[in-house]
């Protein structure tokens, strides 16, 4: 190749991560997994719409356990039942574990790992794309649910709690995503391990009195929720009884710690593993 150009210096870690972010975001937004994401986040919107229609008709007042409830209370329940217990951890597992695993499975990882950027930057760039992609879909869904359920007259009173909901959900997505990015970078069957963590370990740990719950992400995310925990099952009643509420600053710090430590370990894992052996 004649006239070889003066090549720029290889990108720094941060610049490399930003380049991978740009490459991955579009791929992630238009992937089949996003259809799943839209379906999952569309379900509470649909239910909120139904509740709004029922509420608006005035024919049947909305009741929970026999007691009439207003839209704000239903919104709080939906944050717990749909978003905290299901959507946020499930998206964290499905997206986080796939950040590297999908590239390995599709055998496209070679194109990223034979570039002058650190492998860790690939993981971090893809993680950032995950955070943007999921928050771009989840938070608008929460906004729709809120405005469908909460009467305009109550917005001023509930807006601070609503903003806190948005923040904690974004933080939850970031924390679960980072943890499962680590799992995906380090383990061969990351999805199974991720599902076992969310629906096995976390559920059990939240039921056990003592320190076990501190080794879950859910404990810190739930510690930030401004709404009362619904008692919609035996497990939930027990979790509610055994729940201790760490201060909000401690929850934020713990979740930030989960993100930082998981990404650091993930970067170490991705830089030492021979992924082509998995292909």
Cross-strand bridge partners of residue 67: 64
Q: Which stretch binds other proteins (CB under 8 A): 14-22, 51-59, 77-85, 252-260?
A: 14-22
Residue 227 CB, nearest approach to other proteins (Å): 39
> Given the complex with other proteins, which of 102 and 165 has the nearer CB atom?
102
Site for other proteins in 29-48 (CB under 8 A): 30-31
For 64, phi then psi, to 5°, come to: -130, 125
Closest CA to 181 of 238, 248, 130, 144: 130
Cα–Cα distance, 78 to 47 (Å, whole number)? 9
Separation between Cα atoms, residue 230 and residue 76, nearest integer Å = 9
Question: Which of these ranges, 25-33, 69-77, 81-89, 259-267, lies near other proteins under the rule CB under 8 A?
Answer: 25-33
Q: Does 11 bind other proteins (CB under 8 A)?
A: yes
* DSSP assigned state of 233: S
Number of CB atoms found within 10 A of residue 156's CB: 8
Q: Compute the C-alpha angle 91/97/171, nearest 5°.
A: 45
Shortest Å distance, C-beta 6 to other proteins: 10
Q: Read off the tokens for 257.
A: 């710690």
DSSP codes of every residue in 19-80: HHHHHHHHHHHTSHHHHHHHHHHHHHHHHHHHHHHHHHH-SS--EETTEE--HHHHHHHHII
We find the least distance from the C-beta atom of residue 12 to other proteins, in angstroms, to be: 9
Token pair of 20 as six digits:
């991978």
Between 103 and 202, name the residue whose CB sits nearer to other proteins: 103
Rule CB under 8 A: choose which of 58, 266, 271, 278 binds other proteins.
Answer: 271
Instruction: Verify binding: residue 65, other proteins, rule CB under 8 A.
Output: no
* 186 contacts other proteins (rule: CB under 8 A): no
Site size toward other proteins (CB under 8 A) is 39
Half-sphere exposure (Cβ direction) of 212: Cα atoms closer than 13 Å: 14
Q: CB-wise, 107 or 189, nearer to other proteins?
A: 107
Pick out residues in 91-150 that bind other proteins (CB under 8 A): 106-108, 110-119
Q: Does 22 bind other proteins (CB under 8 A)?
A: yes
Q: Which is nearer to other proteins, 110 or 245 (CB)?
A: 110
For residue 184, the minimal CB distance to other proteins (Å) is 18
Query: Least distance from C-beta 102 to other proteins, angstroms?
Result: 11
Is the distance from CB of 223 to CB of 252 less than 8 angstroms? no
Q: List residues binding other proteins (CB under 8 A).
A: 1-5, 7-11, 15-16, 19-20, 22-23, 26-27, 30-31, 106-108, 110-119, 271, 274-277, 279
């Amino acid at each position: 190749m004649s006239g070889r150009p003066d090549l720029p210096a290889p990108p720094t870690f941060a610049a490399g991560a930003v380049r991978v972010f740009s490459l991955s975001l579009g791929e992630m937004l238009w992937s089949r997994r996003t259809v799943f994401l839209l379906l999952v986040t569309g379900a509470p919107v649909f239910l909120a719409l139904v509740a709004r229609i029922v509420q608006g008709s005035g024919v049947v007042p909305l009741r929970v356990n026999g007691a009439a409830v207003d839209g704000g209370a239903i919104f709080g329940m939906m944050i717990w039942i749909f978003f905290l217990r299901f959507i946020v951890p499930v998206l964290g597992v499905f997206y986080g574990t796939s950040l590297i695993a999908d590239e390995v499975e599709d055998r496209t990882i070679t194109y990223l790992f034979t570039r002058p950027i650190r492998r860790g930057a690939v993981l971090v760039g893809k993680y950032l794309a995950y955070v943007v992609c999921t928050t771009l879909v989840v938070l608008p869904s929460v906004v729709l649910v809120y405005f469908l359920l909460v009467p305009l007259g109550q917005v001023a009173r509930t807006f601070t709690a609503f903003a806190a909901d948005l923040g904690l959900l974004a933080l939850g997505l970031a924390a679960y995503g980072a943890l499962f990015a680590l799992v995906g970078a380090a383990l061969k069957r990351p999805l199974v391990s991720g599902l076992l963590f969310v629906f096995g370990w976390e559920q059990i740990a939240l039921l056990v009195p003592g320190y076990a719950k501190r080794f879950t992400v859910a404990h810190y995310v739930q510690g930030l929720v401004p709404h009362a925990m619904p008692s919609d099952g035996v497990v939930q009643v027990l979790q509610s009884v055994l729940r201790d509420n760490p201060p909000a600053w401690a929850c934020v710090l713990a979740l930030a710690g989960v993100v930082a430590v998981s990404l650091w370990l993930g970067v170490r894992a991705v830089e030492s593993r021979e992924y082509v052996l998995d292909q």
